[in-house]
């Protein structure tokens, strides 16, 4: 029943799919977008390609001419009325294309640099696409970097591959196989699209791979064809135009002469001048009348005369600029709703706020944690997902915010210092401005502000900071912390009896480390000295574990006369000297360095040393 004949319906019933380009930085997302806009366009303005607000619109006939060469061999129909490609590549924009939890993006291109394979943001993007169940094509970009690649400008990829020498083909084969394997390791099945049956990518979760060059255009037709085919064969139900408004705020911008405007992507339904619109702000919902609906003029010549065209009414899917009052606090990435004649305004207000309300509710769990501040609700949600779910161990978040960082935000998070968790007196700021006095206040209050405009960089920074902090704390603690161990001297391996004592020992239990003070509990806790070196098979070691035999050097600076064979000998077991403080330091900083049996040993030794 999936094969319903779309052509039999009125074209008005189908809307154009919304497409986003995602992937790691520098994989070629921007170049690919440019290329898609320019393929087969010789000079001047592209016919059938219209610049909208935040998106580029491709008419059906443009999609047809753009894929004409490929169609000569593949023979496919394009049934969708056009395609809307979001102008800002990257997963933040994907995150913002949402309305009440569901994604307004219909299909996506995930760009992978063929020379690099999967990178951190590739995986982030993959997770987002999978979570929102958005079908996508993988562009294995930069194919032209394969050894001795012969350029075949704007050619379908299989034709271009036919022109290549064997060496080039074999590099391409091995690189695409590597990527396929990396994807498989993440549970994503994929294949070069022409090596899979139509049914594989239409009716299963197999992801089609398309080698591309965003510079010379090989494979770009194939990507477009696959996006069209996926749209009309895999998700056509979602593309049935419906009158219920589905719209999301892409950006809030001040425009000379117009004041604060809101760029909106309308996916379904209409917006009309005079509509009573409801928007989401951090301070609650606002209700305002739509005073104008604008799009850029279709061609460059017209752009000289007027900057925008005014519309009485627009219909999804398209990008449009909305003018109205009180729009300055509207948050990007939130839904737009209209109060209709039969609607209760209060219900609509609650609905518009629901994404934010849900997010705040989800957050109530972390009592201590960093403050996360982002430019848009979608970006904030994406960040929280990465920090609290995808990052291992998760980074706890105690507070969230959207927009510019003010002094009061700094004050709020500085309380982490008083709570004894100075590491969380940190603001992770994503793509937002920081007020000057907020910066100064942060220095005074001991609050760190980390900024980035790539999500990955932000948690990278914080993780690095935490790692450094842990290392520093460990170093401080290692002066105090003593690992538990019981060792036995091997009497036939006594190399030096005193100052320093050098003996072969077996680690009977626990972990012996350089710096460990040793004593003999059986002799009233006689202090033997500190381990200053550990050697195994002639190699210096930091650590020796249960079962190992090593040579150790013991120095007793306070009492250099202590001598093997006089005060003690091989009949005595040597124990690490534990104290309350040393055990606390172990617990604080080396929890995962000790195994279960080591902790058991700590408990046993606590009794021997009478530590309460």
- Closest distance of CB 136 from ligand GDP, Å: 15
- Smallest gap from residue 114 Cβ to ligand GDP (A): 8
User: Going by DSSP bridges, is the β-strand pair 107-113/18-23 parallel, antiparallel, or unpaired?
Assistant: parallel
Closest distance to ligand GDP from the beta carbon of 25 (Å): 5
The residue from 16, 17, 20, 29 that contacts ligand GDP (CB under 6 A) is 29
Distance of closest approach, residue 211 Cβ to ligand GDP, in angstroms: 10
Site string for ligand GDP, 198-237 (x = CB under 6 A): ---------------xxx----------------------
CB nearer to ligand GDP: give 31 or 553: 31
Footprint (CB under 6 A) of ligand GDP, residues 40-59: none
Q: Residue from 145, 457, 474, 606 that binds ligand GDP (CB under 6 A)?
A: 145
CA distance 575 to 449: 46
Contacts (CB under 6 A) with ligand GDP, residues 88-107: 89
To the nearest whole angstrom, how small is the minimum distance from the Cβ of residue 218 to ligand GDP?
8
Query: CB within 8 A of 82, min separation 6: which ones?
Result: 16, 57, 58, 59, 60, 62, 63
Helix, strand, coil distribution of the chain in percent, nearest 5: 35, 30, 35
Identify residues 60-89 at the interface with ligand GDP (CB under 6 A): 89
Residue 538, judged by CB atoms within 10 A of its CB (0-12, 13-18, 19+), counts as exposed
Name the residue whose CB lies closest to ligand GDP: 28
Total chain residues near ligand GDP (CB under 6 A): 16
Kindly tell me which of 221 and 577 has the beta carbon lying closer to ligand GDP.
221
Stretch of 137-145, 161-169, 297-305, 419-427 contacting ligand GDP, by CB under 6 A: 137-145
Q: Which one of 21-29, 178-186, 467-475, 523-531 is the stretch in contact with ligand GDP (CB under 6 A)? A: 21-29
Omega of the bond leading into 393 within 30 degrees of 0 (cis): yes
| CA 500 – CA 495 distance, rounded (Å) | 10
- Tell me how far apart the 2 most distant CA atoms of the chain are, in Å: 103
Per DSSP, which regions of 466-515 are E strands? Answer: 485-496, 501-513
Helix (H, G, I), strand (E, B) or coil at 439: helix
In the complex, minimum distance from the CB of residue 170 to ligand GDP, in angstroms, rounded to a whole number: 19
**Stretch binding ligand GDP (CB under 6 A), from 20-28, 194-202, 314-322, 499-507:** 20-28
For 90-146, the three-class secondary structure string (H helix, E strand, C coil) is CHHHHHHCEECCEECCCEEEEEEECCCCCCHHHHHHHHHHHHCCCCEEEEEECHHHC
31 near ligand GDP, judged by CB under 6 A: yes
- Applying CB under 6 A, which of residues 144, 222, 251, 409 lies at the interface with ligand GDP? 144
Q: Does 175 bind ligand GDP (CB under 6 A)?
A: no
Provide DSSP, 159-218: HHHHTS-HHHHHHHHHHHHHHHHHHHHTT--EEEGGGS-HHHHHHSSPEEEEE--TTT-T
Q: Where are the alpha helices (DSSP H) in 253-306?
A: 300-305
454 binds ligand GDP (CB under 6 A): no
Shorter beta-carbon distance to ligand GDP: residue 120 or 515: 120
Interaction site with ligand GDP (CB under 6 A) = 23, 25-31, 89, 141-142, 144-145, 213-215
């Amino acid at each position: 029943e999936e094969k319903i004949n779309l052509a039999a319906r009125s074209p008005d019933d189908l809307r154009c799919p919304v497409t986003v380009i995602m992937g790691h930085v520098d994989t070629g997302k921007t170049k690919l977008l440019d290329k898609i806009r320019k393929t087969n366009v010789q000079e001047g303005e592209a016919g059938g390609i219209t610049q909208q607000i935040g998106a580029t619109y491709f008419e059906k006939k443009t999609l047809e001419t753009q894929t004409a060469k490929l169609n000569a061999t593949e023979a496919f129909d394009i049934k969708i009325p056009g395609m809307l490609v979001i102008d800002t590549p990257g997963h933040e924009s994907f995150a913002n294309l949402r309305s009440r939890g569901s994604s307004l993006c219909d299909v996506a291109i995930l760009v992978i640099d063929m020379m690099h394979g999967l990178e951190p943001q590739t995986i982030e993007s993959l997770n987002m696409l999978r979570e929102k169940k958005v079908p996508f094509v993988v562009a294995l970009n930069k194919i032209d970097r394969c050894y001795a690649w012969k350029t075949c400008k704007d050619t379908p990829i299989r034709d271009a591959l036919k022109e290549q020498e064997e060496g080039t083909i074999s590099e391409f084969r091995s690189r695409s196989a590597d990527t396929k394997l990396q994807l498989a390791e993440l549970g994503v099945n994929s294949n070069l699209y022409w090596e899979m049956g139509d049914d594989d990518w239409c009716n299963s979760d197999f992801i089609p791979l398309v080698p591309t060059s965003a510079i010379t255009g090989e494979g770009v037709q194939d990507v477009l064809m696959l996006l069209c085919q996926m749209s009309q064969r895999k998700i056509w139900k979602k593309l049935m135009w419906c009158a219920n408004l589905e719209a999301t705020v892409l950006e809030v911008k001040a425009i000379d002469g117009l004041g604060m405007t809101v760029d909106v992507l309308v996916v379904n339904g209409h917006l009309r001048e005079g509509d009573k619109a409801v928007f989401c702000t951090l301070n609650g919902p606002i209700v305002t009348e739509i005073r104008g609906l604008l799009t850029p003029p279709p061609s460059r010549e017209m752009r000289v005369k007027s900057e925008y065209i005014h519309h009485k009414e627009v219909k999804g899917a398209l990008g449009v600029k909305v003018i109205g009052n009180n729009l300055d606090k509207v948050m990007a990435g939130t839904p737009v709703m209209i109060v209709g004649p039969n609607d209760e305004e209060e219900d609509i207000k609650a609905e518009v706020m629901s994404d934010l309300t849900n997010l705040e509710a989800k957050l109530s769990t972390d009592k201590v944690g960093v403050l996360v501040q982002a430019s848009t609700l979608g970006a904030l949600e994406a960040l929280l997902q990465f920090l609290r779910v995808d990052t291992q161990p998760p980074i706890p978040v105690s507070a969230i915010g959207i927009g510019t960082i003010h002094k009061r935000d700094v004050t709020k998070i500085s309380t982490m210092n008083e709570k004894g968790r100075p590491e969380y007196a940190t603001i992770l700021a994503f793509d937002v401005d920081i007020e000057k006095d907020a910066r100064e206040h942060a220095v005074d209050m001991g609050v760190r502000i980390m900024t980035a405009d790539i999500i990955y960089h932000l948690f990278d920074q914080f993780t690095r900071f935490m790692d450094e902090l842990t290392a520093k704390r460990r170093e401080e603690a290692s002066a105090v912390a003593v690992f538990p161990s019981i060792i036995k001297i091997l009497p036939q391996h006594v190399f030096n009896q005193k100052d320093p004592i050098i003996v072969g020992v077996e680690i009977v239990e626990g972990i012996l480390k350089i710096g460990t003070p040793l004593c003999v509990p059986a002799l009233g806790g006689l202090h033997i000295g500190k381990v200053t070196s550990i050697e195994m098979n002639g190699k210096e070691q930091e650590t020796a574990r249960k079962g190992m035999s090593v040579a150790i050097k013991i120095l007793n600076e306070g009492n250099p006369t202590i001598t093997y064979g006089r005060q003690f000998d091989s009949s005595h077991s040597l124990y690490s000297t534990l104290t309350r403080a040393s055990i606390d330091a172990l617990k604080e900083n080396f929890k995962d360095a000790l195994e279960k049996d080591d902790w058991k040993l700590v408990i046993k030794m606590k009794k021997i040393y009478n530590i309460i």
